[in-house]
Chain A
Amino acid sequence: EIVMTQSPATLSVSPGERATLSCRASQSVSSNLAWYQQKPGQAPRLLIYGASTRATGIPARFSGSGSGTEFTLTISSLQSEDFAVYYCQQYNNWYTFGQGTKLEIK
């Protein structure tokens, strides 16, 4: 099983600042990596697939990068609605998710 490890567990950032979230795979997943956003009481929402392609309707302030085992989700200028939990997911070999990064207001 491919283990996905996200860091940090919690990230405190002020609105308007940049947030950088990391995700590491225990073995290469090529570019078969997605990012999801989840707000309390809601279902996850697809943000990024193919490591760097924004899903339909996702604002340009969200960007993804990386390949192989190291991936990054960057939110360029945080808006109030961006504070949530973010999960990475590999779909190269079945499906596994990271444990999540909680993005909170500083």
Chain B
Amino acid sequence: EVQLVESGGGLVKPGGSLRLSCAASGFTFSSYSMNWVRQAPGKGLEWVSSISSSSSYIYYADSVKGRFTISRDNAKNSLYLQMNSLRAEDTAVYYCARVPARTAPYFDYWGQGTLVTVSS
């Protein structure tokens, strides 16, 4: 069974940093591209960042470019999101999501999410 479990969320002050993790199991993690998607309280979904299976290709939404860094450790079956210079508008539930194939780049499995709150 595919499982994605996020962790690392919490309360942080504006300008602060946080590192999110996503632990994957039930599939060959190293074969899949992964993504982070966020959802502000009571709002819709916003794609944040993508990373290919071997980390060769990395992409960011303009809203986080230069502040967030996506990475992965295939040996540990883990995905990460380093978030720096956090702003109030970064407050959201952050989900990790799997892409089933390069030719099918939608999100077939999602974790349960981890809440990041940026507030003084």
Closest residue on chain B to residue A50 by CB atoms? B104
Main SS at interface, chain B: strand
Q: Is the CB of A98 within 8 A of B106?
A: no
Chain B interface bracket (under 10, 10 to 19, 20 to 34, 35 or more): 10 to 19
Contacts of B111 in A (CB 8 A): 43
Main SS at interface, chain A: loop
Query: Which of the candidate stretches A11-19, A20-28, A65-73, A86-94 sits at the interface with the other chain?
Result: A86-94
Q: Is the CB of B104 within 8 A of A100?
A: no
Q: Is the CB of B106 within 8 A of A97?
A: no
Chain A interface bracket (under 10, 10 to 19, 20 to 34, 35 or more): 20 to 34
Q: Contacts A43-B95, A43-B113; is A94 near B108 (CB within 8 Å)?
A: no
Q: Is the CB of B44 within 8 A of A97?
A: yes
Q: Is the CB of A89 within 8 A of B45?
A: yes
Shortest CB-to-CB span from B119 to chain A, Å, is: 21
Say whether A44 faces chain B, with CB atoms less than 8 Å apart.
Answer: yes
In the complex, what distance in Å separates the CA atom of A45 from the CA atom of B111? 10
Q: Contacts A43-B112, A43-B113; is A49 near B104 (CB within 8 Å)?
A: yes
From 17 to 40 in chain B, residues with beta carbon under 8 angstroms from any chain A beta carbon are 35, 37
Q: Contacts A43-B95, A49-B104, A94-B59; is A87 near B45 (CB within 8 Å)?
A: yes
Interfacial residues, chain A to chain B (CB-CB below 8 A): 34, 36, 42-46, 49-50, 55, 87, 89, 91, 94-100
